[in-house]
Amino acid sequence: MTTNAELMQRRRAAVSNGVAQGFEIFVDRAENSEIWDTEGKRYIDFAGGIAVLNTGHLHPHVIGAVKAQLDRYTHTCFQVLAYEPYVELAEKLNALMPGPGPKKTVFLSTGAEALENAVKIARAATGRPAIIAFASGYHGRTNLTLALTGKVAPYKVGFGPFAGDIHHALFPNELHGVTIDDAIDSVELLFKTTVEPSRVAAILLEPIQGEGGFVPAPAEFVRRLKEIADRHGILIIADEVQSGAGRTGTWYASEQWPVAPDILTTAKSLAGGFPLSAVTGRAELLDAAVVGGLGGTYAGSPIACAAALAVLEVFEKENLLQRAKDIGARLTERFKGLSQQHPEIVDVRGPGAMVAFELAEAGNPGAPDAALTKRIVSEAQSRGLILLSCGTYANVIRILVPLTASDELIEEGLDIIADSLVAATA
Ligand code: PMP
């Protein structure tokens, strides 16, 4: 048996310090919502590889589709020799995107690449350079997506200069004193102080900020942003890398918006653990890119496309959109109950199964408690549960349990959270 400690030692010597590691655990195997480490210890997985495993680890239908694909061909590069799974998946995602009119899709491999390409497409379609993004938004680790990201540490530290003509407005967050009016005013202020609206190609937002703390964009905010966008010929891009692929009870979270986005990005749970991302949007926008302007050697790998088609089938067969709503209701009820005993829980929120709770000192939302959040994650780990935190102030616990997890397993995880709260606040 190789111990976690031995592997950590080798990792420290061989791997860049720039790559963080949430837990000093090395995985041996995983199944659905459980993981076993190299020492044979079992963990319940409420992290899902950061929102990648809505269909769980090694879903038999997904793995079956991948194995079948492995026996036929693994790579041709879609720009050289095309293949049906890419086209079929594009057809399916186009049909799922909200809003009227024909849609088109391009596939990439990572979420950041999807954002890079969404911006390229918006610029090509409008002939405009500037993008408005939001404080506390997260869009990736490439140079352009770091420019789009609205959080400094740790993502941007020491890595600039960043791509230009990206401007940040405030994202509404009532708990932290930013109203919808404040956020809308901050967009209008950018037009007065920083960039004229006729130079703005797109406004980019997450329907629910993921890394930023599971903070939903209120419907009223989206409606008013769309009014501003329409007034100035600006596109709306929804970054659904974390909120998409069924997490919130609809395939896209933006299906719950009062207005449809023009372009949206997906990745993570789209292909159930295989690297795949997509930019889907109004056909005339996707077609504005010059021929040869989009793509990539591995972009839309046949293995990942086969996996994603299987993920869509699993959602259908196992009714996972409804399951997301049911899991969300269960989590919300439990956390609301816990907040009665623990005033440190100052908010429980999120649509569908994209649920989180926020922690602050003495129940004062203005005093975020990152230290307590850390202690809860660590207490949970010692009790066999993998939990993730997030948030601008690192004081939010987010739940990304697979939608395929049984009620019993979810209850087991929730019991551990309850125990961990008691231990961490003692
Ligand atoms: N956008 C959002 C909303 C995300 O949550 C993430 C990843 N956490 C990304 C983009 C970047 O995706 P990737 O890590 O696959 O590049």
pLDDT tens readout for residues 302-314: 999 999 999 999 9
Gap between the Cα atoms of 177 and 365, Å rounded = 10
Compute, in angstroms, the gap from residue 393 CA to the centroid of ligand 1. 19
Three-state secondary-structure class, residue 251: coil
DSSP state of 390: E
Of the pLDDT bands very low, low, confident and very high (cuts 50, 70, 90), residue 371 is very high
| Fold of the domain spanning 4-58+319-425 | Aspartate Aminotransferase, domain 1 (3.90.1150)
**125 Cβ closer than 6 Å to some ligand 1 atom:** no
Q: What is the pLDDT of residue 403?
A: 98
> What residue spans define the domains of the chain?
4-58+319-425, 73-317
Q: What angle do CA 231, 250, 50 make, to 5 degrees?
A: 100
Compute, in angstroms, the gap from residue 112 CA to the centroid of ligand 1. 6
In testing the pocket of ligand 1, which one of 19, 54, 113, 138 has its CB within 8 Å of the most ligand atoms? 138
Q: What is the mean pLDDT of residues 327-343?
A: 98
244, 206 in Cβ contact below 8 A? no
In testing the pocket of ligand 1, which one of 142, 237, 241 has its CB within 8 Å of the most ligand atoms? 241
Please name the residues in contact with 358: beta carbons below 8 A apart, sequence gap of 6 or more.
175, 213, 345, 346, 347, 348, 349, 365, 368, 391, 395, 396
**276 Cβ closer than 6 Å to some ligand 1 atom:** no
Q: Beta-carbon neighbour count of residue 221 at 10 Å?
A: 19
User: Is there a common fold for 4-58+319-425 and 73-317?
Assistant: no
Q: Beta-carbon neighbour count of residue 87 at 10 Å?
A: 14
Gap between the Cα atoms of 297 and 79, Å rounded = 8
Mean of the per-residue pLDDT values for the chain? 98
pLDDT tens readout for residues 395-415: 999 999 999 999 999 999 999
Gap between the Cα atoms of 224 and 180, Å rounded = 9
pLDDT tens readout for residues 97-124: 999 999 999 999 999 999 999 999 999 9
Q: What is the pLDDT of residue 65?
A: 98
Q: What is the mean pLDDT of residues 28-56?
A: 98
Compute, in angstroms, the gap from residue 340 CA to the centroid of ligand 1. 33
Compute, in angstroms, the gap from residue 145 CA to the centroid of ligand 1. 9
pLDDT tens readout for residues 70-100: 999 999 999 999 999 999 999 999 999 999 9
**240 Cβ closer than 6 Å to some ligand 1 atom:** no
Percentage of the chain surpassing pLDDT 90? Answer: 99
Helix, strand, coil share (%) of the chain residues, nearest 5: 40, 20, 40
**275 Cβ closer than 6 Å to some ligand 1 atom:** no
pLDDT tens readout for residues 253-263: 999 999 999 99
Q: What is the pLDDT of residue 1?
A: 84
Gap between the Cα atoms of 399 and 251, Å rounded = 18
Side-chain-facing half-sphere of 217: CA atoms under 13 Å: 33
Q: Distance from first CA to last CA of the chain, Å, rounded?
A: 36
pLDDT tens readout for residues 124-179: 999 999 999 999 999 999 999 999 999 999 999 999 999 999 999 999 999 999 99
Statement: 73-317 belongs to CATH 3.90.650.10: no
Q: What is the mean pLDDT of residues 209-222?
A: 98
